[in-house]
Homo-oligomer: A and B are copies of this chain.
């Protein structure tokens, strides 16, 4: 991990779309410290104290939890503009790692709180709500969906972030599997199935198009 060089605030001051929409995000941009993480580098560790807020500036991040024997569960993926790691005043239940080389804005929660209690409440409150929402979806997926449904749900979820039907996956099969509670082989088979059914079409491991969004949504349940 390295602090990004001076010209980084140039990038930050060019307010992106997310920064304009959400009040409190620009205050975070002003106060936060930009940091660079290499692919697979740890942003914070399991059981570490949670006193910092993080926002993805570029690249993507995953949070994960590991059992003693190495089984891994990914909690979520975070993309440009999103906040993560805000289980404030507790220990992190998940660790966070960079999915790819990425830039992350880091801010001490207490500093933001001191600067503007209102901005803090809004930022952390809405982020926590969104997080809870996602996590509850995740529970349903893991508890009651079949492998095919899980993979279909996942593709829909990823596709819904962008406007287009052409999507680039920011993660590999192992990360997908560990998010979906499956093995890498099962994920691969389900992707092949979906492709065989002409619902999606892959061009390379990480590039695909959705050919039939209705069918995919139905398969996701």
Residues of A within 8 A of B (CB): 65, 67-69, 71-73, 75, 87-90, 93-94, 121, 125, 128-129, 131-133, 135-140, 142-145, 178, 180-181, 221
Contact = CB atoms under 8 A, between A and B. Distances in A.
A123 to B, nearest CB: 12
Copies of this chain, tallied across the complex: 2
Contacts of A178: 143
A86 to B, nearest CB: 9
A96 B75 CA distance: 24
Contacts of A145: 67
Contacts of A143: 73, 142, 178, 180-181
A181 B65 contact: no
Given A125-B125, A132-B132, A139-B139, A144 B87 contact: no
20 contacts: A65-B140, A67-B140, A71-B144, A72-B144, A73-B140, A73-B144, A75-B136, A87-B129, A87-B132, A88-B129, A89-B129, A94-B136, A128-B129, A132-B132, A139-B139, A139-B142, A142-B142, A142-B143, A143-B178, A143-B180
A219 to B, nearest CB: 12
Contact of A132 (B65, B69, B131): B131
A213 B133 CA distance: 34
